[in-house]
Amino acid sequence: MIKITFPDKSVKEFESGITGFEIAKGISSRLAKEALSVGVNGEIYDLLRPITTNAKIAVYKWEDKQGKDTFWHSSAHLMAEAIESFWPGVKLWVGPSVDSGFYYDVDFPEGMAITEKDFPKIEKKMLELAQKKNQYIRSEVAKEEALKHYTEKGDEFKVDLINGLEDGTITFYTQGDFTDLCKGPHLLDTGYIKAIKLMSIAGAYWKGDENNKQLTRVYGITFPKKKLLDEYLVMLEEAKKRDHRKIGKELELFTFSSRVGLGLPLWLPKGAKLKERLENFLKKVQIEYGYEPVITPHIGLKELWEISGHYAKYGKDSFQSIKTPAEGEEFLLKPMNCPHHCEIYKCKPHSYRDLPIRYAEFGTVYRYEQSGELHGLTRVRGFTQDDAHIFCRPDQLKEEFIKVIDIVLYIFKTLDFENFTTQISLRDKEDKEKYIGSDENWEKSEQAIIEVCEEKGLKTTVEIGEAAFYGPKLDFMVKDALGRSWQLGTIQVDYNLPERFELEYTGSDNEKHRPVMIHRAPFGSMERFIAVLTEHTAGKFPLWLTSEQAVILPISERFNDYAKEVMNKLKLTDVRVTVDDRNEKIGKKIRDNEVKRIPFMLIVGEKEVEGNTLSVRKQGEGDIGTMTIDEFSNFINNRVAEELK
RNA sequence: GCCGAUAUAGCUCAGUUGGCCAGAGCAGCUGAUUUGUAAUCAGCCGGUCGGCGGUUCGAAUCCGUCUAUCGGCUCCA
């Protein structure tokens, strides 16, 4: 007998070899019907895989991430089966589930290819196969046998996979006529899969290494009900409407020009005002936190980055140097502001009493991103960092780091970013060539970040090998409308640049000491932040931030003078307002300004002129009543104050 | 940079198997209308059909190439 512990902590005894399916059935027939896989001591099992030890179990359904993973992984096998039936001779690499759906990496033989035109026939075939309710059958295979099988088949991919596995852990899964090396788990049978949509084709390097052969990656998604697929497709359409590239165009925030160059955003007046307002917001916060503004040029001598180590690492994949008439003189466009700030620090001697020193600058930097990598405002070649460098004593590091976290959290709270995640990026100790600086300093900085996050109670994930080459970092990530994750705020601890630039301060012991440096950018980049904010708000920016808070709509041209009078009065009280004095009907003006997402519309006609009032209409909601000019002005300014609290 | 798809007016899109001067709606301009809570009417303007080269009597349409965009991969100081 074995002991099974349920999620509610209750314990029951079963015969050894009982399956998740039987346990679920014992609870209710409905649960058995909905169950997709079962968690056994943290591992995910097929429903029919015997459980032979005492275990904590959890039954996973579609609603659970693990359930979806099982569902989509089985779907990947189903797709592979369909693809193999049309293109015999294809070699399969891996087919995992992803956030929404699954993919399979496939190597098509020379001269064979799949296109999106093939999707309908593959989907149809998959549905046919699904309806056969073929069972997914697990079998354990000896390593030698597995190797032999795939060597004979000439499948170098699977041979490579198996070589990386230990004997005794190798399993195959078979459904219908299709067998694949796989550790599972899988659904009971293909019949669970009711709705199928192949999404796209992409190239993907084998093992993620760009020196390797490129395989064809086919993305798809499946559902246990047709209705769920329809809903998903509607959701995708909705998400597209929030795309910052689309809204940016509609609201005239920014544009690009192929003549100016790829990835170099041009801010239009409305976007520029928004960006400026956002910068002023942070400037104000930074003053409270003791930052001091500095301004540095957009270029610097090449030597500057040779000292920092950036040139050795990124020089040849970057914008190339700017030459001057002087022999041998070379400048680089600055890819970051740190070296300039280090030089500012060095302009005079510092006492331990001066520290921490916090230099802040909205610095525009240029990085030559690969062309295929550019993406709207989220990945560009020229962007403004809300950068600052904090030079502090080692004993101040923690406190300073915490203060930076507070700034980031304050910003996220003010802008309603609730669903952010935080990631600690550490170096990969196995791959020391990628990093500069001593082990001791790395240990110190990594430890500092981990401790601080613990103290602040941040829920973090730790990624090994994701650190910057000069130090570990803490990143704040937010998802865009389509669920793609973007890094916004970043905080980095750096012992290396102070070393390289020989930064010093005089301690209380009258000896020279090396300061620690914190790089930080709460927004990350203004461009990316505005992109993500645009998608987050669907272009309905908060009142304090938006360029036009209200627009006055005269009923007819007869009321244009009154409208202008109102506008001037409101402007005196810092309300950002314009007049729509076009010769159009009121319905048309309302519609146009609704589409422009102006938060408030102020309608003025006969009644308003007589009563010296405004009819206020809220964007997306409709008429909210009559106010005097003063009342409206207070209304707006109170709301702005509330938002910025 | 790599794989795949796409490229028609400022924007969103039609354009059948190659065949008359390449179309529509919105935006813009002109005029009429003077309007009460999501589109008033009429007229006009606007395009080397992404660039270049080829096939053809004839190319937006077929082929090649370059560029850009989109979806991924790799990368992201």
- CB contact at 8 A, A222 and A196: yes
User: Is A338 among the residues known to form the active site?
Assistant: yes
C-alpha span between A313 and A306 (Å, rounded): 9
Closest nucleotide relative to residue A204's CA, C1' based: B73
Give nearest nucleotide to A591 (CA–C1').
B38
User: Does some domain include residue A518?
Assistant: yes
Distance CA(A51)–CA(A58), nearest Å, equals 13
A281 is near strand B: CB distance < 7 Å: no
Whether A356 and A424 share a structural domain: yes
Q: Residue A385 catalytic?
A: yes
Which range, of A155-159, A433-437, A583-587, averages the lowest pLDDT? A433-437
Average pLDDT along chain A = 93
Q: What is the CATH number of the domain that holds A617?
A: 3.40.50.800
- Say if residue A111's pLDDT is above 80: no
Asked if ipTM goes beyond 0.90, one says yes
Shared-domain flag, residues A49 and A88: no
- In-domain check, residue A13: yes
- Are A262 and A169 contained in the same domain? no
Co-location of A110 and A231 in the same domain: yes
The answer to whether A453 is a known catalytic residue is no
One domain, residues A408 and A491:
yes
- Assign residue A150 the CATH number of its domain: 3.30.980.10
Which entry of A189, A387, A480, A494 is annotated as an active-site residue?
Answer: A387
* Residue A280 shares a structural domain with residue A384: yes
A303 in any annotated domain:
no
CB atoms within 10 A of CB A358: 21
Q: For A323-436, where are the alpha helices, taking DSSP H only? A: 338-345, 397-414
Percent of chain A with pLDDT strictly greater than 90: 82
- The domain tally of chain A equals 4
Cβ of A622 less than 7 A from strand B: yes
In a domain, A130, yes or no: yes
Task: Check whether residue A27 has its CB closer than 7 Å to nucleic acid strand B.
Answer: no
User: Last residue of a domain, which of A14, A35, A61?
Assistant: A61
State the CATH number of the domain containing residue A47.
3.10.20.30
A501 CA, B56 C1': Å apart: 69
Catalytic residue, from A473, A520, A536, A576: name it: A473
Whole-number distance in Å between A589 CA and B41 C1': 17
| A140 shares a domain with A11 | no
Answer yes or no: is pLDDT of A110 > 80: no
Residue A503 placed within a domain: yes
Nucleotide with smallest C1' distance to residue A250 CA: B11
Q: Which strands make up the sheet holding A516-521, listed edge to edge?
A: A292-293, A357-366, A382-392, A516-521, A485-494, A473-479, A421-426, A460-464
Whether residue A86 is contained in a domain is answered as: yes
CA to C1' distance (Å), from A372 to B4: 13
- Distance (Å) from CA A372 to C1' B54? 29
Give the pLDDT confidence of A477-494 residue by residue, as tens digits: 988 877 788 899 999 999
Which bases on strand B have an atom closer than 7 Å to a protein beta carbon? 1-5, 11-12, 27, 32-40, 67-77
Q: Nearest nucleotide (C1') to the CA of residue A319?
A: B77
Domain for residue A435, yes or no?
yes
Per the CB < 8 A criterion, the answer to whether A468 and A505 are in contact is no
Scanning residues 570 through 589 of protein chain A, those with a beta carbon under 7 Å from any atom of strand B turn out to be 583-588
Assess whether A594 and A450 both reside in one domain.
no
pLDDT, one tens digit per residue, over A504-520 is: 999 999 999 999 999 99
A620 touches strand B (CB under 7 A): yes
A483 touches strand B (CB under 7 A): no
Residue range(s) defining the domain that contains residue A151: 66-237
Does residue A617 sit in the same domain as residue A636?
A: yes
Domain edge (last residue) among A34, A61, A88: A61
Bridge partners for A412 per DSSP: none
Residue A555 contacts strand B, CB under 7 A: yes
The integer distance in angstroms from the CA atom of A637 to the C1' atom of B72 is 46
Q: What is the pLDDT of residues A212-239, one digit of tens each?
A: 999 999 999 999 999 999 999 888 888 8
The percentage of residues in chain A with a pLDDT greater than 70, rounded to a whole number, is 100
Is the Cβ–Cβ distance between A554 and A560 less than 8 Å? Answer: yes
CA of A216 to C1' of B68 (A): 24
Residue A416 annotated as catalytic: no
A590 beta carbon to strand B: under 7 Å: yes
Nucleotide nearest to A556 (CA to C1'): B34
Q: Measure, in angstroms, how far nucleotide B19 C1' is from residue A520 CA.
A: 65
Q: How far apart are CA A181 and CA A155, in angstroms?
A: 12
What CATH number did the domain enclosing A382 receive?
3.30.930.10
Q: Is the C-beta of residue A263 closer than 7 Å to nucleic acid chain B?
A: yes
Q: At residue A37, does pLDDT exceed 90?
A: yes
The residue annotated as part of the active site, out of A91, A389, A536, A589, is: A389
Through-space separation of residue A379 CA and nucleotide B6 C1' in angstroms: 21
The pLDDT tens digits for A448-462 are 999 999 999 998 999
Q: Are residue A449 and residue A576 in the same domain, yes or no?
A: no
Q: Name the residue among A101, A91, A63, A96 with its Cα closest to residue A77.
A: A96
Has residue A574 been placed in a domain?
yes
Q: Please indicate, yes or no, whether residues A356 and A505 belong to a single structural domain of this protein.
A: yes
pLDDT given at position A317: 85
For A345, residues 6+ apart whose C-beta sits below 8 A from its C-beta are A357, A359, A389, A391, A501, A503, A515
Asked whether residue A372's C-beta has any atom of DNA/RNA strand B within 7 A, the reply is yes
Distance A235 CA to B25 C1' (A): 26
Between A433 and A390, name the one with better pLDDT. Answer: A390
Are residues A66 and A37 in contact, defined by beta-carbon separation less than 8 angstroms?
Answer: yes
The answer to whether the C-beta of A206 is closer than 7 A to strand B is no
In angstroms, the CA A391 to CA A356 distance is 5
Query: Which nucleotide has the shortest C1'-to-CA distance from A308?
Result: B77
Domain identity same for A231 and A277: no
Q: What pLDDT was estimated at residue A205? A: 94
Structure tokens at A59: 């039954």
Is residue A389 part of the annotated active site? The answer reads yes
Residue A342 annotated among the catalytic residues of the structure = no
A210 touches strand B (CB under 7 A): yes
CA of A571 to C1' of B14 (A): 46
Buried b (16+ CB within 10 A) or exposed e, A308-317: bbbbebbbee
> Which pLDDT tens digit goes with each residue over A160-201?
989 888 888 899 999 999 999 998 899 999 999 999 999 999
Verify if strand B has an atom below 7 Å from the CB of A374. Answer: yes
